[in-house]
Amino acid sequence: MSDDVGVRVMIRAPRAEDEVAYAEAVRRSADHIGRWNPVEPDGLPELLERQGAGLRTFLIVDRETDGLVGKVNVANIVMGRFCNAALGYDSYLPFAGTGRMTEGLRLVLDRCFAPQTAGGLGLHRLEINVQPDNERSIALAKRLGFRHEGFTPRMLFLQGAWRDHERFALTAEEWPGSGAA
Ligand SMILES: CC(C)(COP(=O)(O)OP(=O)(O)OC[C@H]1O[C@@H](n2cnc3c(N)ncnc32)[C@H](O)[C@@H]1OP(=O)(O)O)[C@@H](O)C(=O)NCCC(=O)NCCS
């Protein structure tokens, strides 16, 4: 079993053929993701173009049906002495709230902390920034073992205003299975 395959889900890079399924998944999930993370349903081609040293996107896919469970952006990747990135994510109906997103994110974290020599991203620290009243995302960050680090006022421009965020982080030493743990 490859490291990118879990019990109910697997993770992989997005590709051009995912465009229709992605747009449908985002559209049918708009009510539950829109308030927190406005996502453009037809935005996959642009996201594919932006993939590179600073951004790596993973899709979480249901193994049984091949349906799209969610998307994780490993963004703002800075290597050198920092080896740091910020995670952004959305889960899609009908899989939201079934635990599959959590399982998929665990696989993404494995990839993030694995050394580049082993096909990983070689990161040392990951950050999740969440609006204070986004309870489901805060629960997810805590479930994954992220520590609450602090409060960042007016951090991101979302839905027409600069929004405060709670900052959660995790380093490789804290991630079970990572060589640094
Ligand atoms: C935040 C978000 C990604 C969480 O995704 P999710 O689909 O709820 O994630 P999961 O299904 O893995 O969450 C586990 C939930 O499923 C439940 N669950 C059901 N069956 C489960 C199982 N077999 N195993 C584990 N958990 C299970 C858990 O109890 C948990 O519910 P709880 O949080 O109410 O306790 C999602 O709500 C979302 O897309 N929000 C909008 C976008 C957003 O906020 N992005 C992040 C911005 S910082």
Question: Do 130 and 138 meet the contact criterion of CB atoms below 8 Å apart?
Answer: yes
> Which ligand 1 atom sits closest to the C-alpha of 131?
48
* Domain topology for 9-174: Aminopeptidase (3.40.630)
Task: Return the residue whose CA atom lies nearest to atom 39 of ligand 1.
Answer: 90
CA–centroid distance, 90 to ligand 1, in Å, is 9
Query: Could you tell me if the CB of 166 is within 6 A of ligand 1?
Result: no
Q: Are 12 and 57 in contact (CB under 8 A)?
A: no
Best substitution site from 31, 98, 156 to test ligand 1's pocket, by max atoms within 8 Å of Cβ? 98
- CB of 37 sitting under 6 A from ligand 1: yes
Question: pLDDT tens digits, the chain, 181 residues: what are they?
Answer: 456 999 999 999 999 999 999 999 999 999 999 889 889 999 999 999 999 999 999 999 999 999 999 999 999 999 999 999 999 999 999 999 999 999 999 999 999 999 999 999 999 999 999 999 999 999 999 999 999 999 999 999 998 999 999 999 999 999 987 777 6
What per-residue confidence (pLDDT) applies to 159? 87
Tokens of 125: 């620290």
- The strands making up 125-130's β-sheet, listed across from edge to edge, are 9-12, 56-62, 68-78, 84-91, 125-130, 161-171, 147-158
- With a 6 Å cutoff on the Cβ, whether 98 touches ligand 1 is yes
Could you tell me which of 63, 68, 64, 62 has the C-alpha nearest to residue 44? 68
Amino acid 1: pLDDT? 40
Does the beta carbon of 57 lie inside 6 Å of ligand 1? no
Q: Does the global pTM surpass 0.85?
A: yes
What pLDDT is recorded for position 38?
84
